Amino acid sequence: MFSEPCIGPLKGNKPCHGTFKETEKEVTNYCLRWKPFPCPPTEHSDKLTSSAWLYNTSAEVWGLPITAEKGTYDGGGYFMKLDVNSHVSKEIFIELIENEWFDAQTRAVILEFTVYNANANLFAYAVFVGEFPEVGGFIPYVKMHVFRLFLHAGPDGEFILILKFSFCLMALFATLKMVYEASGDTKAFFKCVWNYLDIAALLMSYITIGVYIYMLGVVQKTIDVFHKDKNAYVGFENIAFIEFLSNTTFSGLVFLLSIRVSRILGYSGKINEMAAVISNAAGDLLGFLVIFSFATFAYVLWGNMLFGKDVAKFRSLFTSFGTITESIIGKNQIAHMFLAKPFFAELYYFTFVWFVLLTLATMAAAILNFSITAVKEEQEKISPTNIVEVIWDRLASAVGKVYTSRNNQSKFYERY
């Protein structure tokens, strides 16, 4: 970060350094101790850390942004590659400290490494971030991601490859079937709501296949870089991110297909009753959701303002929302709140339990109970009531048709 003159009665004689901003970060190349060029001729040969004062862009190191507790940092920066020898790595750290590589303008130091378990064919990519905010202090952050670099190795590799190939064929056949149905009766096809879900699932299937093919290219590029220079820095965070993206798209596909399977459950009388209860109370439930959303957001905002600087569970609105959601489902973590601000923590949690968990939850239960009573009084017997009865009726109908056909044949022979 750039230096700037301090203002205020306590400014002193030292320069001030503001918060981290991507547009104001340092991108200049320096010599040791952050001295401007030109460097001494013997610096590169005498020092282990001469490259640590040279800026590298994210494109040069094939890096991705890293989001820590306080800020998000671009994939570029000032890099120092450690050695496989622990003694040499210790000497590198000593030299960095002696030459003040970490100074008042440092906002984050990121340590990245990847380990490999050959028996399990698993890579573990680890990121340790130490953030130094402008107000002082130290904020640690740790993130780990486990993935497979060699996707089809091992005893299950060929079987998994066959399953993936089968999935591609199923997506292709589903596409042809959908095109055939849509071309036959287009209006009837687009009037069915379930067909839109099929289209969304098919699109997600192709997105999943595309992400997987792209991941194969990234894996191959990573392997080539590693084989070319085994001591070079390899951006395994790219593979970790692409695999996370692939798992996310596949999870979305599974979710859509799970909803599609629920159409079969529509033959169940219990599912029909649940749908009737929700439909009957739709207006009241909508009003309840509005009130519940306002109350929840109020406690999310209040928790962030009260405990944001002391409790990690409330450090942002997003994390505060997750903490409140966990409290609603019964997973409470209130020890740090009471340590930070005991009085306000008691007031906050007592009012939250009283107004949200008790009052609003009771309102929701009352709405559903009234709807259940009304549905039971008005709903007539639905036949068939479940999928077992559907199958039984189909079998009984088929047996009846066969029996009738045989009786007709016997009467025909009696006449002649």
- Helix (H) / strand (E) element for 361: namely helix 361-378
d(CA 341, CA 333): 14
Q: What Rg, from alpha-carbon coordinates, does the chain have?
A: 32
Dig out the tokens for 312 from the structure: 């990690």
Nearest to 327 by CA among 290, 305, 358: 358
The per-residue pLDDT for 129 is: 93
The per-residue pLDDT for 45 is: 76
Residue 33's Cβ-side half-sphere holds a number of Cα atoms within 13 Å equal to 7
Task: Tell me the percentage of the chain whose pLDDT exceeds 90.
Answer: 10
d(CA 238, CA 236): 5
3-state class of 134 per DSSP? Answer: coil
Most confident of 17-21, 179-183, 193-197, 262-266: 179-183
d(CA 402, CA 357): 60
Mean residue pLDDT of the chain comes to: 81
**Mean local confidence (pLDDT), 198-205:** 90
Task: Report residue 169's pLDDT band, with 50, 70 and 90 as the boundaries.
Answer: very high
**Least confident interval from 5-14, 127-136, 214-223, 352-361:** 5-14
Instruction: Supply φ then ψ for residue 386, to 5 degrees.
Output: -150, 175
Sorted by sequence, the CB contacts under 8 Å of residue 7 that are 6+ apart come out as 16
Task: Report residue 391's pLDDT band, with 50, 70 and 90 as the boundaries.
Answer: low
**Mean local confidence (pLDDT), 286-305:** 88
Please write the tens of the pLDDT for every residue from 61-102: 777 888 888 888 888 889 998 887 888 889 999 999 999 898
d(CA 363, CA 288): 8
The per-residue pLDDT for 412 is: 44
86 exposure class (CB count in 10 Å sphere: 0-12, 13-18, 19+): exposed
Please check the confidence at residue 368 and state whether its pLDDT lies above 50: yes
The per-residue pLDDT for 393 is: 67
Please check the confidence at residue 11 and state whether its pLDDT lies above 80: no
Nearest to 49 by CA among 86, 107, 90, 84: 90
335 versus 369: the higher-pLDDT residue is 369
Please check the confidence at residue 42 and state whether its pLDDT lies above 90: no
Nearest to 34 by CA among 93, 131, 103: 103
The per-residue pLDDT for 110 is: 92
Listing DSSP states for 24-75 in one string gives G------BGGGBPSPPPTTHHHH-S-GGGGSEE-HHHHT---EE-SS-EE-S
d(CA 112, CA 129): 9
d(CA 121, CA 153): 8
The per-residue pLDDT for 401 is: 62
Task: Tell me the percentage of the chain whose pLDDT exceeds 70.
Answer: 85
Sorted by sequence, the CB contacts under 8 Å of residue 113 that are 6+ apart come out as 125, 126
Task: Report residue 311's pLDDT band, with 50, 70 and 90 as the boundaries.
Answer: confident
In the chain, DSSP finds a helix count (H) and a strand count (E) of: 14, 9
